[in-house]
Amino acid sequence: MEKKNPRLARMHHGAGYTLHEDVRHPTPSLLRASQIGVLTHDESSMADRGNKDALLVVSYGAARQESRHAAIEPILDAIAEENPEADLYEAYTSRVMRQKIQAAGLEMPSVEEALETLLANGYTRAAVASLHLFPGTEYMAMIETFNAYRFRFKRLVLGTPLLYWMGQEEQRDDAADFVRVLRQEFSDPEKGEALLFMAHGTLHPSNCFYTLLQTRMDMARWDNAFVYTLAGWPRMEQIIPELKERGIRRVKLAPLMLAIGAHVTRDMGGDAPESHRSRLLAEGFEVEVLPKGLGELPAIREMYIERANEVWDKLREE
């Protein structure tokens, strides 16, 4: 008899949302739009096919090999260790990251290329795990890929990024959990000190997840901890007046990114006049840079692993 996975008893599977009963004959697009959470498609035309399962782990990517070794590979190794029965594959969503590592003589497929490889290798079922921070543009592209490929697999499952649920309708509160475990990795600011977390930021409406994180920090009474963005909102110029008003003299900078790249080494902590470190120094603050990606922090790494376990368990669920 097959041994049941104990994780199945405590997981939150399913869409988490149901159309109102008064909605008659919903269109296919409305049905797809109302499917949220872990996405699953079972292709009825392949019901008689055998099961050959694969787990595809997808991240934005990393151009620097030392960053990949420090932040991404430990997550992959832990996922493989917890799920030894899984045939593990990997893909990057970022075309720029794939091109950069290709220039260094390395290869990494896109999500589409990886799924084609799975099909060519005879896999009939696939679980796709996301190492993205929240459902922004890169993750939305993964949903489009899921919809394009779902009819070609007996079962195809797409997991959620790290931050997705917000505690609504008995779902877990990913943002609150993230803030709690992030706080385990960083000591609380001392008097006159602030902790600034730099995210990338986006024009996509999902940029509001940064405001959500700030709200959860405030609710947790994590005083003088702030989230700001490189290319979204809020920017550093919105944070500096608040720091001065609170009498902050010393600032610690840390990234909200899976792996360390040029945005951290150059834009956040570099020596150029336009770097965040230099701008803070010019405003009279003492500055310390904490250059570790989220994938290097054990407590955050565990959250990524939980997301991968969730989608793999969903694939194999009866």
Helix (H) or strand (E) holding 158: strand 155-158
Q: How far apart (Å, rounded) are the C-alpha atoms in residues 255 and 135?
A: 18
76 and 156 both lie in a single domain: yes
One domain for residues 152 and 249: no
Q: Is 225 helix (H, G, I), strand (E, B) or coil?
A: strand
Structure tokens at 310: 């969730």
pLDDT tens digits for range 259-317: 999 999 999 999 999 999 999 999 999 999 999 999 999 999 999 999 999 999 999 99
**Domain span including residue 98:** 6-165+299-316
Half-sphere exposure of 220 (CA within 13 A, CB side): 22
Q: Are residues 307 and 161 in contact, defined by beta-carbon separation less than 8 angstroms?
A: yes
Distance CA 14, CA 252 (A): 40
Whole-angstrom distance, CA of residue 223 vs CA of residue 13:
34
Q: What are 27-71's pLDDT values in tens digits?
A: 988 888 888 999 999 999 999 999 999 999 999 999 999 999 999
Whether the CB-CB separation of 185 and 303 falls below 8 Å is answered with no
Say if residue 56 is in the same domain as residue 144.
yes
Count: domains in the chain: 2
Interior/surface letters 168-183, b for 16+ CB within 10 angstroms, e for the rest: eeebebbbbbbbebbb
Fill in the DSSP letter of residue 9. G
* Token duo for residue 209: 């997840």
The answer as to whether 181 is a domain residue is no
Tokens 């959620």: give the residue: 160
Q: Is the pLDDT of residue 2 over 90?
A: no
- Cβ(110)–Cβ(58) below 8 Å: no
Is residue 223 helix, strand or coil?
A: coil
- What the block records as the tokens of 193 is 């000190």
Give the least confident one: 87-96, 163-172, 212-221, 238-247.
163-172
Residues 240 and 309 in one domain: no
User: What pLDDT, on the 0 to 100 scale, is given for residue 13?
Assistant: 43
Same domain, 16 and 134: yes
pLDDT, tens digit (0-9, with 9 covering 90-100), for 200-252: 999 999 999 999 999 999 999 999 999 999 999 999 999 999 999 999 999 99
Tell whether 47 and 152 lie within a shared domain. Answer: yes
What CATH number does residue 142 fall under? 3.40.50.1400
Q: Are residues 275 and 135 in the same domain?
A: no
261 is a domain residue: yes
Mean pLDDT of the chain: 92
Same structural domain for residues 143 and 207?
no
Has residue 92 been placed in a domain? yes
Q: How far apart are the C-alpha atoms of 76 and 259, rounded to whole Å?
A: 13
Same domain, 121 and 204: no
User: Alpha carbon 282 to chain centroid distance?
Assistant: 33
Q: Which residue has the tokens 């006049």?
A: 273
Answer yes or no: do 160 and 308 share one domain: yes
